[in-house]
Amino acid sequence: MRAHQLSLRALFLVAAAALSATAPARAGVLVPGQSTGGEPYRLTDPNAAEFQGNTLETVTLPIDIATTGEDGQPRFVSGMFTHKVVRESASGNLAFHYQVDGTQQNEIVDFDDFFVTAFGDFGTDVFSDQSGGSVDAGAIRSPDGNEIHFIGAEEPFDGYFIVRTDATDYEDGGTARILARFQTGVPSQSQDQFQTFETFQPAADDGPGPTPIPLPPALWAGLSTMGVFGAIRVLRRRRW
């Protein structure tokens, strides 16, 4: 009996090893209310094969975040924000890509936080290229599942983020929010400014509409005959 149990255990370990060797890597799976971080979560290459597929839509918008410092001098960061929807070749599911490029800025501006919505009850698998800087890079999903909060790397003001989902359809209605933290020169003091963008979001796939059921030709003939008899009855009533 013991030898039989050992052989079953050995078979299980061999099968598990084979699956782990062939299954694609998926790091940073987030369920509502969960957080993730660490080295496996980070995106090393957004052009990796597992992220590739057919790009359905791409939108690029200007980043323009500005404020006035305590010294009365303007502080700003500008650049481009790109978001796109990709139908991944391996699964047929949709992934939402976000790229932040802060090309110009004055003074010190940290890129600490990036927020995206609206993911609701969809399954999500998140990736980021943020190294963490002086903070722990990671992502947090709100308890209702709607918002994903990426914790950035402070400097430089750029980043690439991917939210892979189990959705097969999408629509407008999501948002992306970038936090720029302008340093004031005073320790432990900063000025936070946000810019919000409208983005794509996963949508429930309702499938095709109801298909009319074709009636047999004999039934169509019967209905036509009934229509003729009905018309004759109406004419008879009018004569009387």
pLDDT of residue 218: 52
CB-based burial label for 141 (10 Å; 0-12, 13-18, 19+): buried
Q: How far apart are the first and last CA of the chain?
A: 97
pLDDT of residue 40: 76
pLDDT of residue 68: 78
CB-based burial label for 136 (10 Å; 0-12, 13-18, 19+): exposed
pLDDT of residue 22: 34
Is residue 12 classed as helix, strand or coil in its secondary structure? helix
Encoded tokens for 149: 């909060």
pLDDT of residue 44: 84
Distance CA 226, CA 221 (A): 9
pLDDT of residue 37: 81
Ranges in the chain, pLDDT < 70: 1-27, 108, 132-136, 154-155, 184-189, 206-240
